[in-house]
């Protein structure tokens, strides 16, 4: 039985080497990248059997996505399509005061037409946890329905449902997001939200604990996790607030930090760890992720625990 | 005054290094590539003042296209758009028996919405020659109209119009192409067609000379050039057939060969050379192009003439 | 149910880029490579559910091997070990008259201590076909026993057993190989051997058909395949000889050609194809493999069938 | 009409990747680099029509220079020469305490023989601003005369003349520089000088404002800009001192910072902005330049304004 | 006459580019690296005639080691062996909180069987100083004897013997190291030890000066150097303690820092400099080493002296 | 005692990767390259103790040259100069019909001022053979004298003198070369000349044997070797003509072929082999050189003998 199934879009990420500008570069590094597959991989690396399901174009590009995910240990269940594009995104790493720049080129991706027929529904029903994020319903009206139906199917089958708000301003407005996402909230057991998204999209105020309590009160979530960037994270579970600070990190690539956090948190929860312990794994995995090029947390559980245990690290030889 | 203005789509070309497969590669080489800009550059390298005009997204991707063209000496006149994608194509170089594989990802490119307002119409009217190819009207209904209007404007201004059939089976069917292209033929002075396209799309038969004569009879072209790959090329001009064999070449990159031929042919014609001489320049430029990575004929006129003059080449030191 | 399980050593392959010499290079390309995993991947690409099982060091090097295999779609079942090295091999591509040079650095690899406890025995018993090659018993006395036991277990469970002689002179002498391998032959259903190995190791003479018949007579194999490099291959099955010529190919990387042949042959047999048809798939896959960098046949079934169907291939666009 | 024409030497810059030493490297990154072309590009990126004029060897090396400049949008007007070298410089990026090391190999460059016949004099006369720096007269006696004549021609034509002292100790002594440059000062409207150069070469003392006032008094400049590295810059114009602090930056490549400042300052002045506003654009462009590999400020005006407007930048997605 | 001969193992170092993980990388950078050859090179760069002697496999891998050392100016005297591996190590550069990770693959290296017959004993006897480190006897019992015999031969010949404790926990335990190394101490004139190793292996306590005094008292060393990482170093010589602080450095690659220190110290001592001056050279060379990719201090004496002389360094042009 | 000392210019060779054009490339591969150091290395690889002596700028560029030579095993004796450039050459590999293009940038190299004080005269006197080529006197009048004096010194000391005509049309005219070189001929024992150079420069006619005989008659050479490219080579020694055909080769890099031939020929002669055997070594080394990137024959004697012995080579594993 698979512990965790995730569903969403994974893109090809194209980025110039070093700090080169897209306008100047003669080559692009190629990686597979997407919130839900990032979460599946982080969870797998922390001990869960994880699968990502989606719809991809039946082309070298779609196969490149699968190759980029399977290599890190997860399984994939793909609906191969003759129609639809492979979504891509271009990433230009900045350094202060030049911001890191993301250019999405994901319109009309094959996944935007995915219905429940294209998703590994049986495996989702059999899994212990299902995860998707707010990016998925933002991609198309079809996906908005599909996410709703998949969450319902998971809920009916007794699969725990986890969801990260993951607001993307380039995909929809806060109001659109709020309306769409809150319609899904009754089907969600574990809600993850960045504090910023809670304020912008879900119209929440107060401190992070207030936000968690308010969301739990309104939607009866089993667990609410509020992530706060370099300020750490916080979870409400069984009426209790658990706070976790962030680990210091010298950032090589910031993309995918939140997904690493969520994947590790879910994996450790699946393995029976308490919420505070799972939060600590999440924070340590997120810190490690930032030291690794690409969207994906290519870590081992031992490395994560080493971050949790140790203050200073040196050369091991 | 610009000698030659070309109009069409230029894409970003993404290809794995060496003979690597897309599914296996961790990086992609990035170049700007498009039939009409290829022609402009080849013409410039052979002595013409050349400009490419088009519509591009106002993004690093669009600017990367311009950078990739201007570097080879041509001018550009761009309508920068906030809407529409930057078209791309993925190229996997094969070697026998593995075919070279092209994956287009060009739907909804910004250029597909280009009207005459987006095109450097004044420069086209002032130019001595205007060029586009059958790819352009194939991209959208809007472009089909725009091409028609631009050709009309050129014709009215006394600008010579040149056109390459350039049939792309991934864009439209032979019947669609035939109907659309022949509607443009009355506005065209110099027609270029691959012998294969003449048979497939324009429903021609007989040998290459028959094809040229038939087309000239039907549409009253000033010049008809029929390209025949490794069998060379042939032109009908002033009722006379001129044949040109292909130069031997050890191919590094076959893409853009036809465009190199056309660009060089047009440049030398613009400079007052006879049709047979221009054909020879075209064939030599095409042969050199095949030795150069990328779509573009990065050559000098002296190098082309060296191919025309010399049988064997050695190390020059 | 898995169609095919293979067992053997997979190494990290380290090779200088282009035609650079090891003595001169400042970087090495890194790939996973091993006869049995090559066969599993080729079979998977041709339609089989395939798994590779082995023992690897629990280190980034061992994980790199798995990453390099799973990315092409197969499953892996690994015994992770705290002892033993990760085998590597250094490959220097030559060009005439400089030979391609392989330097093995595989002594004391973790796999050399693999017993049946380290192998996915249940999956082998459940599989339709099991495959290993003569390299595996050559690696250690332990592996010699393990291969014998695994073949016995497969045989007892009704799993078809396939075996490629794959003689490596750097691992053992012809006499040692002959003694060890023929002891395994009673447990083998499908024997594959290079014609050269049959002569050198198995002491056979006559033409390839004579060799096949002689081996079948002596050991009662269900199928004998004799591979003959650029001379094609030949199979004896149900008393009948089937010949298959090789497809022309412009070689980029010759390593893994035989494995591609075997993997494709087994996959198509598993799918119910006749021996001659499976041979043709094998030959076409082998030809494609030679155009691809690395040990692995990163192909699709459609591409293989395109080689079988077509004489000349061009740019598809 | 071109807004800005610049004249000077542009070299090929050769630098090892990462922090590699020249003695250890097996490859060199290649870029076009020169103070005056850097200024032209920065000005173009901030909105000016800009052209660089110079003399180059008629070789792939000279053409590579033009390719490296035109790609960023400026025009070039080149005297192609059969004599003279292409100047190069080798750059080894250090990190504390290893200094960044520049090795010039620019003796006998084609440009050192450039007379007014080799320069786009008509375009300079038609331009609104002409710019060169103290490097140009330092390169040869011929260039010293040429710069004098070009400045005179510009002045006579009513073109504003801008000049950066840009002292290079590897080219001449402070005394030589002082004598040569001050002879040109009567022909200059806008003088730019590093505070350090003003002290070393122009023998100035007091604070930066004293220096600006002293220079303006002595030579009657319309504008004097004193750049002060991380301490910002200061301008004297119409008798008023305007101060501008530097923006914080995490440096990737420091070369070309001053040129980025000057180019942006000139472009914004050409567009009618006030001196303090132009200084702010200069400082923000300089800060961005330091985050970009190469000598050239590959920025957009929107990015520069984003630096001016924003305190903190994040990932935009 | 050679000033300095060193003896030990040099490995091939394989590391992913940038901050890539081994599990994700498709290429590895290749360099030669070993404590004793690092010391020889640092000494050579600071003015000594230096030679490294060892045993290597007679293969491209062994030759690659020699190529990687000779290029930096030292001589080599090699026993070429048909048996034994080429030791390698894999290096994954981390960044906080991800530690830098070293994976040794050095078992059964050819050098582990080196006897005095394989070593350039004549040159050692003729040299002014001989150096090896605690890594060498840790590699095999044979080497433990060989080191003892070589040190004895050097001592008998009047060659100064220098030795760095260089404890490697992956090779032996502190107790094993202590027993083996202290048995060699009577043959050693100049002992270098990290403060940490003195505590862990040699069971010393007190501050660094106490450690130096205690070691000198117990073993009658001519000189004892205690290195203290970012806290600098300290030497006891002629009964006097000399302290040296570390120079600030922005680390690019920390491996080889201690060897750079020792090599420079020995070279300057050989050239007649005082202990405190030699310590300062050592510290400056170590600081520079950290700015350079690879194990080796590719520096010049002038650069080292520039670090010693200057507070701030800028771009030199 | 050194067997062979060579003297001449070694440049840094800068070439775009793959078949890229200089005008398009963003990086250049860097290697050390020069006829006389090529010969020294080839001789060393075939068994001779070899040294290259020259004058270089005291800079990272000069040190890079030494690093690029010493790595292949030869010794160097350098006069380090504060004046003079490091010569470079740019190499663009072509493929038919695009020629391979060499752009020299070697004027005013430090070596052009080398006198006998800058050359390792003692080692030349002690060596068994001294070698230089016609490139050296072509570089400057100073070098013309120096070569004459060095040859005289060698002759006086009983060192065999070997000389390759090596005509470079970019350095001087045939008449200049003839006058200068024939003035040196009385001091030369072993003359090597391409058949083409003998015709162009030395004004010889007839077949290769006639040329050899004529030269020997006129100048009393001990040995005359005439190289004939793909037609092999021929030597006249002791009145006898020895012919050697060329080995087939699939060329990767043609530069340095002749030097490889000469170096191997000299090494085997030094080792006492007969002229025909030495010719065969020369031809096989030359064939191998063409398969190796760079100017230098990075081969082993065993590999060369393998070419001499074997018809077909396969993968060795």
Rounded alpha-carbon distances, angstroms, from residue A220 to A188, D156, E15: 9, 80, 50
d(CA D51, CA D124): 9
pLDDT score of E310 = 79
Q: How far apart are CA B139 and CA B173, in angstroms?
A: 12
Closest alpha carbon to C190 in C152, C227, C149, C236: C236
Give the pLDDT confidence of B128-143 residue by residue, as tens digits: 999 999 999 999 999 9
Both tokens assigned to C30: 């890194």
Question: Is the predicted pLDDT of residue B314 greater than 70, yes or no?
Answer: no
Quote the DSSP letter at residue A109.
B
- CA atoms of D182 and D159, how far apart (whole Å): 20
| Terminal Cα distance for chain B, rounded | 39
Quickly state the pLDDT bin for E82 (edges 50, 70, 90): very high
Chains contacting chain D through 3 or more C-beta pairs under 8 A: A, B, E, F
pLDDT per residue as tens digits for the range E189-238: 999 999 999 999 999 999 999 999 999 999 999 999 999 999 999 999 99
Alpha helices, DSSP H only, in E54-126? 60-70, 121-126
Which ipTM did the prediction report? 0.95
Cα E136 to Cα E144: distance, rounded to the nearest angstrom: 7
CA dihedral D261, D266, D268, D273 (to 10 degrees): 120
Q: Output DSSP code: residue C86.
A: P
Please give the interface size between C and E, counted as residue pairs whose CB atoms are below 8 Å apart: 73
φ/ψ of E199, rounded to 5, equals -70, -50
Q: How far apart are CA C5 and CA C125, in angstroms?
A: 9
Q: Is D280 helix (H, G, I), strand (E, B) or coil?
A: helix
Q: Which two tokens stand for residue E62?
A: 């062994």
Element (H, E) at B240: strand B240-244
Contact call for residues E102 and A316 (beta carbons, < 8 A): yes
State the pLDDT at residue D312.
47
Chain B: touching chains (3 or more CB pairs < 8 Å)? A, C, D, F
pLDDT band at C310 (very low <50, low <70, confident <90, very high): confident
Interface test with D, best of A20, A27, A97 (most D CBs within 10 A): A97
- Nearest Cα neighbor of E268 from E253, E278, E280 is E278
Q: Say yes or no for a CB contact (<8 Å) between D61 and F22.
A: yes
Tracing tokens 């311009």 back to the chain, one arrives at: B66
Is-contact B52 B2, C-beta < 8 A?
no
Alpha carbon distance D228, B261 (integer Å)? 54
* Residue C317, pLDDT above cutoff 80: no
> What distance in Å separates residue E22's CA from the closest CA in chain F?
26
CB within 8 Å of E302: residues ≥ 6 apart:
none
Inter-chain touch B94–C291, beta carbons under 8 Å: yes
Both structure tokens of F86: 């490091």
The 3-class SS string of C116-131 reads: HHHCCHHHHHHCCEEE
Cβ <8 Å between D85 and F105:
yes
Coil, strand or helix at A185: helix
Average pLDDT over residues A128-141: 98
Pairing of strands E50-57, E4-7: parallel
Q: What residues contact D124, with CB distance under 8 A and at least 6 apart? A: D5, D7, D53, D130, D150, D153, D154, D157, D159
* Strand ranges inside E63-128, DSSP E: 75-81, 88-92, 101-105
Residue with tokens 């069938």, as numbered in its chain = C305
Sequence-distant (6+) residues with CB within 8 A of A302 are none
Do F83 and F118 touch, CB atoms closer than 8 A? no
Q: How many CB pairs (< 8 A) connect A and C? A: 14
At E107, list the tokens: 């078992």
Q: For F290, which DSSP code?
A: T
Q: Do A71 and C67 touch (CB under 8 A)?
A: yes
Instruction: Judge contact between E225 and E215, C-beta under 8 A.
Output: no
Closest approach of chain C CAs to the CA of F122, in angstroms? 31
pLDDT band at C67 (very low <50, low <70, confident <90, very high): very high
Q: What is the pLDDT of residues D237-282, one digit of tens each?
A: 999 999 999 999 999 999 999 999 999 999 999 999 999 999 999 9
Instruction: State the Cα–Cα distance between residues F34 and C151, nearest whole angstrom.
Output: 60
C198 CB burial (10 A radius; 0-12, 13-18, 19+): buried
Nearest to A29 among B23, B27, B92 (CB): B27
What are the two backbone dihedrals, phi and then psi, of residue A67, each rounded to the nearest 5 degrees? -60, -40
F295 included as an active-site residue:
no
Nearest CA in chain A to E23: A298
Whether residue E276 has pLDDT greater than 50: yes
Residues 6+ away with beta carbon under 8 Å from C88:
C11, C12, C13, C14, C105, C106, E88, E105
Closest D-chain CA to E69: D24
Element holding E240 (H helix, E strand): strand E240-244
Residue of D nearest to A94 (CA): D291
Q: What is the pLDDT of residue B199?
A: 97
Report residue E95 CA to chain centroid gap.
Answer: 24
Residues in chain F predicted with pLDDT less than 70, given as ranges, are: 1, 311-317
Query: Which pLDDT score is estimated for A313?
Result: 47
Interface of D with E in 67-106 (CB under 8 A): 94-102, 104
What are the phi and psi torsion angles at C235 (to 5°)?
Answer: -130, 145
Helix (DSSP H) and strand (DSSP E) numbers for chain F: 11, 13
Contact C300, C260 (CB under 8 A): no
Vertex E188 angle, CA E187 and E192, to 5°: 155
d(CA F126, CA F121): 9
Instruction: Answer yes or no: are the C-beta atoms of B91 and B101 closer than 8 Å.
Output: yes
Exposure pattern of D76-90 as b/e (b: 16+ CB <10 Å)? Answer: bbbbebeebbbbbbb
CA distance A297 to A279: 16
pLDDT at E312: 47
Contact criterion met (CB < 8 Å) for A67 and C72 = yes
- F241 close to F234: Cβ distance less than 8 angstroms: yes
Residues of A in contact with D298 (CB under 8 A): 21, 23-24
| D317 confidence band (pLDDT: 50, 70, 90) | low
Supply A70's token pair: 């399977």
Question: Is the pLDDT reported for residue B148 higher than 90?
Answer: yes
Set of chain E residues whose Cβ sits within 8 Å of the Cβ of A306:
99
Query: What was the pLDDT predicted at B312?
Result: 47
Q: What average pLDDT does this structure show over C176-191? A: 98
Query: Rounded to whole angstroms, how far apart are CA atoms F130 and F146?
Result: 14
Decide if F28 and D26 are in contact by the 8 Å CB cutoff.
no
Percent of chain C with pLDDT over 90: 97
Share of chain E above pLDDT 90, in %: 97
Cα D24 versus chain centre, distance:
31
- Tokens for A235? 């979870």
Angle at B190 between CA B189 and CA B194, to 5 degrees: 140
User: B5 has which bridge partners?
Assistant: B51, B130
With CA atoms as reference, report the closest residue to F38 among F292, F235, F242: F292
CA distance F285 to chain C (A): 10
pLDDT per position as a tens digit, E152-188: 999 999 999 999 999 999 999 999 999 999 999 999 9
CA distances from B251 to B231, B301, C287, D52 (A): 15, 20, 21, 37
The DSSP secondary-structure symbol of A172 reads -
Residue B182 φ then ψ, to 5°: -65, -25
Distance CA E97, CA A313 (A): 7
* Total residue length of chain F: 317
CB contact under 8 A, E94 and A291: yes
What's the pLDDT score for residue E311? 54
Nearest CA in chain D to E18: D18
Q: How far apart are CA C286 and CA C246, in angstroms?
A: 8
**Rounded to the nearest 5 degrees, what angle is found at the Cα of B227, between the Cα atoms of B221 and B230?**
165
If one counts every other C-beta atom within 10 angstroms of the C-beta of residue B173, the result is 11
**Alpha carbons B88 and A32: distance in angstroms, whole number:** 18
Per-residue HEC secondary structure of A67-96 comes to HHHHCCCCEEEEEEECCCECCEEEEECCCC
Q: Check pLDDT > 60 for residue A314.
A: no
pLDDT for position F311: 54
Residue of C nearest to F31 (CA): C24
Average confidence (pLDDT) over E11-25: 97
pTM of the full predicted structure?
0.96
pLDDT greater than 70 at residue E251: yes
> What distance, in Å, lies between the first and last C-alpha atoms of chain A?
39
- Catalytic residues of C, by residue number, are 259
Q: Label the pairing between strands A233-237 and A240-244.
A: antiparallel
Give D81's strand partners: D57
Q: Which pLDDT tens digit goes with each residue over B152-162?
A: 999 999 999 99
């Amino acid at each position: 039985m698979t512990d965790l199934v995730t569903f969403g879009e994974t893109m090809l990420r194209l980025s110039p080497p070093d700090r080169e500008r897209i306008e100047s570069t003669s080559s692009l590094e190629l990686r597979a990248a997407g919130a839900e597959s990032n979460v599946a991989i982080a969870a797998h690396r922390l001990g869960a059997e994880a699968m990502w399901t989606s719809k991809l174009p039946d082309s070298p590009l779609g196969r490149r996505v699968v190759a980029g995910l399977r290599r890190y240990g997860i399984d994939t269940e793909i609906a191969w399509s003759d129609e639809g594009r492979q979504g891509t995104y271009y990433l230009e790493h900045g350094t202060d005061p030049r911001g890191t720049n993301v250019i999405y080129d994901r319109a009309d991706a094959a996944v935007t037409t995915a219905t429940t027929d294209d998703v590994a529904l049986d495996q989702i029903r059999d899994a212990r946890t299902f995860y998707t994020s707010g990016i998925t319903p933002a991609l198309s009206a079809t996906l908005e329905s599909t996410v709703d139906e998949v969450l319902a199917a998971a809920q009916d089958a007794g699969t725990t449902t986890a969801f990260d708000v993951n607001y993307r301003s380039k995909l929809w407005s806060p109001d659109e997001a709020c309306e769409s996402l809150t319609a899904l909230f009754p089907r969600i057991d574990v809600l993850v939200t960045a504090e910023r998204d809670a304020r912008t999209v879900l119209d929440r105020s107060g401190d992070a604990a207030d936000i968690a309590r308010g969301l739990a009160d309104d939607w009866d979530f089993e667990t609410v996790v509020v992530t706060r960037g370099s300020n750490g994270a916080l979870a409400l579970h069984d009426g209790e607030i658990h706070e976790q600070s962030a680990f210091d990190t010298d950032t090589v690539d910031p993309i995918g930090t939140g997904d690493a956090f969520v994947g590790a948190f879910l994996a450790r929860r699946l393995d029976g760890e308490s919420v505070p312990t799972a939060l600590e794994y999440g924070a340590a995995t997120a810190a490690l992720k930032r030291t690794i090029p690409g969207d994906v947390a290519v870590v081992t559980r031992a490395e994560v625990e080493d971050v949790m245990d140790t203050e200073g690290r040196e050369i091991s030889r």
